[in-house]
Structure 1
Amino acid sequence: MTSSSRPLSVFLCHSSQDKVFVRDLYQRLQRDGVAPWLDEEDLIPGQDWDREIRRAVRASDLILVCLSKSSVSKAGYLQKEIKFVLDVAAEQPEGSIYLVPARIEEGVQVSDVAEELGRRHWVDLFQEAGYQRLQRALQARARECGASFGTSPAITRPRWASGAGKDAFGQFAEIEVGNVVQRFRWIAPGRFLMGSPTDEPERYNNEVQHEVMLSSGFWLADTACTQSLWQAVTGAKPSYFKGDARNPVENVSWDEVQAFLSELNRRVSGLQARLPSEAEWEYACRAGTTTPFSFGENITPEQVNYDGNYPYAGGEKGRYREKTVAVGSLPANPWGFYEMHGNVWEWCADRFGDYPTAQQVDPTGPQTGASRVLRGGSWIFHGRHARCAYRHGFEPGLRTLYFGFRFAPGHQGPAEPA
């Protein structure tokens, strides 16, 4: 990051067929303190499209040319927009990092698009490590042109929060009810592959993999709801396992959770707490990973509370605790969420049903159905049931000693004033 107050400006050159991916990239660049330019976000109704595109290209510090199989076969994109950015790039000093080809899916031959693009090293944004490489290019270009890169927005407190801050995992906010504190973490918008690939060991057929775009960020509790918070809100102690109020509340039904959230919302003004959607839950659980678990290809009882007598995919047997453990006592995933694998199943808002196969934007599940979704596995289930993609459904009135939940406040983001 430089000391300049002017953020690095980046023009996103793309085809209309790739707008979902590019919109996600736009938001990710914004989170990195970049000033990206995207036609559907920055063009004002009534402006001359061609003139404004040319103006934006010339005003930008860096051009990111997004290439997919569909876009490289689109004559207008190749002959008009890419040709123009290549002409502008030719005016830049030799050796400057100004034009970056970005493959957004595998199989695109950059040299086949244009000879000038083929001479430049490209970045593969369909791979997570690709974005890290792009960040290096952005940092280098920021130094070249005296712009800033990586400036984080100021931390502000949502109106419903009693406190807020930033730590190694990112931005958080907290509420306090009856001397019990619950922390939430902000999850920015993004896209991911929901479900499991067909070659994932021990998968189930109802885990059909499909792309999901979450267009809005959201807050989510960093742990399952504790027995102490449930008691502070309702006065009740429904859990089977006693002795530590930091353990997750269990033995609660989906219907009872709705009553809890209603009372919590009455007590905390503006909170608008709800259960996460199934897509939001898996997005948070995966935390940017694509493996069966957020910890990698396998797990151990030191990471996850499950029945270690039944390890996943040929793993070694391990400890079986035969009970829940205190929330936050096992390692967090890369985004700072604890025990999303194992400990207690977690209720989601959605009804249980078959997945669609097409890309989805902000899915909320089937409109009808008798069961509600549970995710994450539990202390009494096997390793395979703790996978990111594993899903189950039960009647909303059912309660048992391994059903719990975590909840999400309303959509007011971290940039809102206190």
Structure 2
Amino acid sequence: MNAKRVFLCHCSEDKEFVRRLAKSLDSLGIAPWLDEVEIKPGDSLFGKIGEGLASCDYLFAVVSANSITSPWVDEELRSMMYTQLKSSQVRVIPIKIDDAEMPWFLTEKKYVDFRSWYCKSSYLLAFDKLIKSFKWISSVKCKKTGLDFVKIEDGVFQYGRYKTNEYLKTFWIARFVLSYNNMILFLEDNLAWQNKSLFFNPLEITKKVRDGAGNYPAQFVPINIGLAFAEWAGFRLPSQKQWEKAARGADGRLYPWGEDWDPDKCNWGKNSDYCNVVPVDDYPEGRSPYGCFNMSGNMVEITSEIVADNERDTHYAGKGGSYMSSPATVVLNDYTPCSDWESYPHYGYRFVIAEVAADQFES
């Protein structure tokens, strides 16, 4: 999928909001066209704006009390509306940042409500709603396992409790955790593993798929078999940094949906039906900025990082909490030590790849 390009139509008085929006778009690999970046000294204003409008797939019209009286904004909007009439490839999206009346030529278009953008949690909710209304995140499906992967573009993001700035190269991460449907493909191709683990019952996985629960997270899969699945499929477990960027986006939010706790957006202890798991694609309103499901709650997700090691067992960092967790333990900036000694019902696996091989994946 080619990167989308967005023209940010605004007036100078709204620069603070627009710069923030441009940074959020850029963090997801969506290229913003921003005048102060694109127009250099000596350039023709009309010429560069015309080129920008022609090169973009979308125009975000920032509507405010300032912009509705700006002749530059009026000219840009009219130009793009004319372009839209000639081409179905261009879309104009009104973005309302205060209570100003919508211009008449935008009244028939549904706007995105950013009127409380100055509050971080409100801004994140509005931005996620904007992004999730479009299929802007590149994704592929693994032919061998059936797992979907989404692309996490390279760049700086805020990591850990103290939100330190960290850089990661581009990688791809599974949209969902490992399910029974995925796991049974591994077992059919690796019969020897069916008897290699004292704490693993492959017959239970077969039964789950037969009973229609194939889309549920694969439970009681010990870490050694999770690692074996990754090796068989050509995947890896994510590092804590990779996992957090996929879950928190670039802005270091505390939950996948934003800064504020919402008990209805993930499967945690109180919400669980008799304290149990839900399908891997449940709670769509709690998706991460990249469209990953259930990164808070449902299953503790095992990462590649060892946080403790002794003669009896090894402990890996598990992220996101589970269906048994409290709100304090489904946050994204912490980890739970997870033992590889035996299998547990709340251990889950979400995999990563560095790049997409054309013969192994399909769009």
Once the two structures are aligned, what percentage of the paired residues are identical? 18
- Mapped to 2, the partners of 1:139 and 1:193 lie a distance apart of 24
- Mapped to 2, the partners of 1:319 and 1:143 lie a distance apart of 57
Aligned to 2:260: 298
1:334/1:132 CA distance change after superposition, 3 Å? closer
State the secondary structure of the residue aligned to 1:213. Answer: strand
- Mapped to 2, the partners of 1:171 and 1:373 lie a distance apart of 28
Alpha-carbon offset, residue 399 of structure 1: 1.9
Q: Mapping of 1:10-409 within 5 angstroms?
A: 128-129=20-21, 131=23, 135-137=33-35, 141=39, 144-145=47-48, 146-148=50-52, 168-177=135-144, 181-197=146-162, 209-214=163-168, 216-235=169-188, 236-237=202-203, 242=208, 243=211, 244-265=213-234, 273-308=235-270, 321-331=274-284, 332-352=287-307, 370-409=314-353
Report the AA paired with residue 174 of structure 1: K
- Mapped to 1, the partners of 2:261 and 2:175 lie a distance apart of 20
- Mapped to 1, the partners of 2:220 and 2:332 lie a distance apart of 23
Alpha carbons 1:234, 1:260 under 8 Å: kept: no
Structure 2: gaps (5+ residues): 26-31, 40-44, 58-133, 189-201
1:259/1:130 CA distance change after superposition, 3 Å? closer
1:144/1:132 CA distance change after superposition, 3 Å? farther
State the secondary structure of the residue aligned to 1:347. Answer: strand
Alpha-carbon offset, residue 382 of structure 1: 0.9
Report the AA paired with residue 164 of structure 2: H
Alpha-carbon offset, residue 213 of structure 1: 0.9
Q: What's the TM-score, normalizing by structure 2?
A: 0.57
After superposition, the CA RMSD in angstroms is 3.8
- Mapped to 2, the partners of 1:380 and 1:241 lie a distance apart of 24
- Mapped to 2, the partners of 1:392 and 1:32 lie a distance apart of 37
Report the AA paired with residue 141 of structure 2: E
State the secondary structure of the residue aligned to 2:184. Answer: helix
1:241/1:321 CA distance change after superposition, 3 Å? farther
Report the AA paired with residue 315 of structure 2: S
Aligned to 2:93: none
Alpha carbons 1:172, 1:185 under 8 Å: kept: yes
Alpha-carbon offset, residue 211 of structure 1: 2.3
Report the AA paired with residue 186 of structure 1: K
- Mapped to 2, the partners of 1:240 and 1:210 lie a distance apart of 44
1:181/1:130 CA distance change after superposition, 3 Å? closer
Structure with greater proportional helix content = 2
Alpha carbons 2:256, 2:295 under 8 Å: kept: no
Structure 1: gaps (5+ residues): 1-29, 35-96, 101-119, 153-166, 198-208, 266-272, 309-317, 354-368
Moved more, 335-344 or 396-405: 396-405
Alpha carbons 1:238, 1:250 under 8 Å: kept: no
- Mapped to 2, the partners of 1:130 and 1:33 lie a distance apart of 11
Report the AA paired with residue 137 of structure 1: D
Alpha-carbon offset, residue 130 of structure 1: 5.8
Alpha-carbon offset, residue 252 of structure 1: 1.6
Aligned to 2:77: none
Alpha carbons 1:231, 1:237 under 8 Å: kept: no
State the secondary structure of the residue aligned to 1:174. Answer: strand
Cα deviation 1:206-235 (Å, max 9, x = unaligned): xxx432111x20111100011111011114
